[in-house]
Amino acid sequence: MSRFPFSLMRTVTSQGLPPRQFPTSGYVALGPLDKIEEETLPLYKPENYYPVFIGEVFGSRYQVVSKLGYGTSSTVWLCRDLREGNHYTLKMCAKGESSDREIAISKHLKHSVIEGRKRMLRMVLDSFDVVGPEGRSFVCLVYQPLGMSFTEFQELLPDQRFSKDLIQRSTQLILIALSSMHESGVVHTDISPNNILQGVKDSSILSKIEEDEIKRPIARKILSDRSIYYSRPMPLCSGLPVVSDLGEARFGKEKYYGDIMPGIYRAPEVILGMEWDYKVDIWSIGNMVWDLAEDHHLFFAKENGTLSDEQHLAEMVSLMGPPPPEFLMRSKRCERFWDAEGNWKGSICIPEQTFGLRELHFSGEDKVLFLNFLRRIFRWLPEERPTAEELAYDDLLMQPIMVKEINKLGAQIG
């Protein structure tokens, strides 16, 4: 039964398609002792994962045609909708993983975001429960199909860095999508290259994945109660970037408390236990853009291999200078690291670095624009950071448009 009463799916009018038959032979069968895919996860327990098999039909309409990925909280599959004929991504949540927040936020965004921007946000389109072995219930989520993540794409690039023009185009579009979320009262809290996916402009690549599964079935391990399949990599796509994974998003009020964000991406107000708001997403944008441009993280934030708040804050001081008194007054934890005048008193020395010294790939005007972009974002006081919409019109991101306009004007004059 659907858990998503206000479905985003369009009305179905066709009679439907018959399920396809997938090969039961012709694949590489791996040995039972070889651990692959989700089995390699440290806390993997087979009973926590529904034993999906290729060819299986869920919700009386979604036929699984290939495996796309796995993680600690789910396995992910490409499926064909037998009612419409389109492809979707199906996420089978692991036992105990709650999807209520993501479903609720998807419903909220469906009604509050303008139509043209919805395609840049990966919302839950449909959801339902599936009963597995021994009567265990699993939640199944359905999404628009998307390509590889920015992390995966970056690893394919020759120098593992995004070009300047790709950074400019992608970041501006991501900020436009993010501004729609913020205007709707939603904070993502987990913006990173892992959660920005390539949009699928040409759906024929999805059909090709399905056909490949029939003609060249993927290697797998056959066990008594399930098959563990290898995932098929998504090919490069040319669609718009899409902000995905709303599982940790928040909405409903302007200020929040609590630990959020990936470790090295955490904003200072989060590290210090202060209240936080949508400006944490702006901080994440700065970290993400640095990662894409420089092929390494801006903050190391570790001491002896372990995440360290003190190391993280010391690095922030080196790049942003000491925090203002107004910031220090917002948390008692600040007394551990600074005196009343904002002087550092931590046991870790402040690193000798600046944004200018760390940045190695831009030069001339490009470097000036890039550093100015970063300095607008990396501010101690969240209210001094720009909004997503303001940042979308930053000089760095507008540079290609301005150059085009100048060239057009020059041509008219000439």
Backbone φ, ψ for residue 139 (5° rounding): -95, 135
Q: Which residues are catalytic?
A: 190
Residue whose token pair is 């492809």: 87
14: left (phi over 0), alpha (psi -120 to 50) or beta: beta
**Separation of alpha carbons 81 and 67, rounded Å:** 15
Q: What is the 3-state secondary structure (H, E, C) of 224-283?
A: CCCEEECCCCCCCCCCCEEECCCCCCEECCCCECCCCCCHHHCCHHHHCCCCECCHHHHH
Q: Identify which of 194, 188, 197, 180 has the alpha carbon closest to the alpha carbon of residue 143.
A: 197
Continuous segment of H or E residues that includes residue 327: helix 325-328
User: Which tokens belong to 152?
Assistant: 């995966």
Q: Identify which of 318, 389, 407, 381 has the alpha carbon closest to the alpha carbon of residue 354.
A: 318
DSSP reduced 3-state for 207: helix
The DSSP result for 281-323, as a single string, is: HHHHHHHHHHHHHHSS-S---EETTEE-HHHHHHHHHHHH-SP
Continuous segment of H or E residues that includes residue 78: strand 74-81
DSSP reduced 3-state for 93: strand
User: Which tokens belong to 143?
Assistant: 């999404």
